[in-house]
Amino acid sequence: MPEELTRNPEAILAFLKEVYPFNELNESEARVIANILTPFEYKTSELVFSAGDPSGCAFIVQSGRLAFEKKGYITGYYHSRDVLGERRLIDGMPRTATVWAEEPSVLLKITNKDLENLALVPQETCLKVYKLLSRLASSSEHEEHRLYSEMDVLLVQDGGCAPGYNSVTAYITEYLESAGRRVFVAAQGFKSLVSGKRDDFRCLVYSFALYRQIEHIHGVIFAPPLREARGADFRTERYKDFKLLENQKRAAENIIQKKVRVLVGIGGNGTLEGIKALAKLLPKNIQVFFIPVTIDSDVSGTECIGQHTGVEVGAEKIRCYMADARTHNRCYIIELMGASGGFHALHSCLGAGAHLAVLPSTNYAPADIARAIKNRSSTVIVVAEGYKAKERKEKGSTLNAAEYLYEELKAAGLETKQRVICEGFSRDVRGARPNNMDMTLAQRMARKLTELVQEGKTQMMPAVLAGKEYAIPFSEIQTDNTVDRDLALLANRLSI
């Protein structure tokens, strides 16, 4: 049973002025209500009320934290200055939910009996309080506040889109929700963390039963359809201003204010750097993780979600160019993704059987390539987008990697009867539907992440390599994922 505490009307009056909607009462009205509020102390796990209980009272949280449960699901929390139970105070119907203290809490209790006692409360004040509470009870913002007052697990996506962003988001929601956690996501990556407004966040729900209970609340999203969805629904273009320390500090403050317990970054090497920067500014009790989603597999020591779909789509694209090259006696120079190591360009080339992969680390002489394609009737060369990127930038060149290589070949004396066509990087691969390999990888990483969360680990990246699952500490993650030299040689069918 809760312990009734000694009433201190002056202290209660001062507190009441900070509580919505009671802060709309004037001084004399507030003093009257303060005199009929009774403080009770609840121990951890102690029930305030259960579904089906008779009503007739409401509560104001003076201190502590309370869970709101409906049909077996916790759908929100109450904290200091929150009002709970106001609907049943108004309509007198039995309780439809259960509330209990998750930590020692003090509640101020107000009853119909006292509120309607004309010897204690003037009729005008009574009616005004009922009107204020009715407005609170009918406000959707009240339910939103309860749901979003604590963002237990917060996902942040940033960087270039890749197949599998949505898949891993769905699976993380499934596994963590089954472990009793609640999952939220920033609507626009790091930009939303810095803004920190209510509309910058969404609540992800995997259970259909839970979704039906709270689907009317703004921002609640049913996660299962995301498993096979294209693109990344919760990100924006790379937020370059997040490199500024002031923005990182603002994001950290918002994360702490929203009582986030687990922060998960999802993306490529840029997202990783942003998450690592945040980890340095957050208290140690907030667990921080990273999930690699990148077509070019630019995070070392693991397969990356998106790489399998990317190679599949890239290879099919190359096969189409090869067929056209044979038909029309053409030489296609195709730019594909590969900023540093060139994983995507290399493996797409290998799978499709193109004639040469020119990577950022390539040492092929343009004259040798020109000589090799001189007497050919058809040729397809794949060039990674990062090929001589620094050199192009220093020269102020606006040419893409394919065009730059072509200019080098012409300068080296290229002579060929083939019609040479340069194709710039096509970004449609980013919007491809994730294939089974990437969806499976997303599931495995989500499961490993859940294990790490439950074990109390932090600043780790789930990893899958050679069929095995493990984890890599942030301090050991490398983002310059080089390609195997033997594979690069295997992609040279021109015998340069």
Same domain for 163 and 301: yes
Is the model more confident about 183 or about 75?
A: 183
Residues 9 and 116 in one domain: yes
Question: Residue 436 and residue 212: Cα distance in Å, rounded?
Answer: 29
Q: pLDDT averaged over the chain? A: 92
Look at residue 288 and tell me if it is in a domain.
Answer: yes
Q: DSSP for 120-174?
A: TS-HHHHHHHHHHHHHHHH-HHHHHHHHHS--SEEEEE-SS--TTHHHHHHHHHH
Report the percentage of the chain scoring pLDDT > 90: 76
Q: Are both 352 and 228 inside the same structural domain? A: no
Instruction: State the pLDDT confidence band at 397, using cuts at 50, 70 and 90.
Output: very high
Reported as a single tens digit per residue, the pLDDT across 167-211 is 999 999 999 999 999 999 999 999 999 999 989 999 999 999 898
Q: 250 with 328, same domain?
A: no
- The encoded tokens of residue 45 equal 């796990």
Whether residue 237 is found in the same domain as residue 160: yes
Q: What is the pLDDT of residue 355?
A: 96
Beta bridge partners of 379: 331
The answer to which of 233-242, 269-278, 419-428, 461-470 has the lowest mean pLDDT is 233-242
Q: Measured between alpha carbons, how far is 231 from 57 in angstroms, rounded to an integer?
A: 49
b/e sequence 7-38, b meaning 16+ C-beta within 10 Å: eeeeebbebbeebebbeebeeebbbbbbebbb
As beta bridge partners, residue 381 has 333, 356
Q: How many CB atoms lie within 10 A of CB 131?
A: 13
Does the structure show a pLDDT above 80 at 480?
A: no
Long-range Cβ contacts of 131-140 (<8 Å, 24+ apart) = 132/21, 132/22, 132/24, 132/25, 133/21, 133/58, 133/83, 133/86, 133/89, 133/90, 134/90, 135/21, 136/20, 136/21, 136/83, 136/86, 137/86, 137/87, 137/90, 140/216, 140/217, 140/218
Question: Quick check: 270 pLDDT over 70?
Answer: yes
Q: Among residues 86, 121, 148, which one ends one of the domains?
A: 148
Same domain, yes or no, for 221 and 295? yes
Q: What is the pLDDT of residue 142?
A: 80
Whether residue 157 sits in one domain with residue 9 = no
Boundary-marking domain end, from 83, 117, 148: 148
Task: Note whether residue 194 is domain-resident.
Answer: yes
Residue 366: cis peptide before it, omega within 30 degrees of 0: no
Contact 496, 372 (CB under 8 A): yes
Residue 24 lies in a domain: yes
Total domain count, the chain? 3
Domain encompassing residue 177: 153-305+434-465
- Tell me whether residue 93 is exposed, middle or buried, using C-beta atoms within 10 angstroms of its C-beta: 0 to 12, 13 to 18, 19 or more: exposed
Q: How confident is the model at residue 281 (pLDDT cuts 50, 70, 90)?
A: very high
Residue 253: strand, helix, or coil: helix
Q: Do 406 and 318 sit in the same domain of this protein?
A: yes
In a domain, 470, yes or no: no
Do residues 175 and 211 both lie within one domain?
Answer: yes
* Domain stops at, among 114, 131, 148: 148
CATH code where residue 60 lies: 2.60.120.10
Beta bridge partners of 39: 108
CA atoms of 312 and 407, how far apart (whole Å):
29
pLDDT per residue as tens digits for the range 125-147: 999 999 999 988 877 778 888 88
DSSP secondary structure of 257-278: HTT-SEEEEEESHHHHHHHHHH
21-52 residue pLDDT tens: 999 999 999 999 999 999 999 999 999 999 99
Instruction: Read off the pTM.
Output: 0.86
- What pLDDT does 395 receive? 93
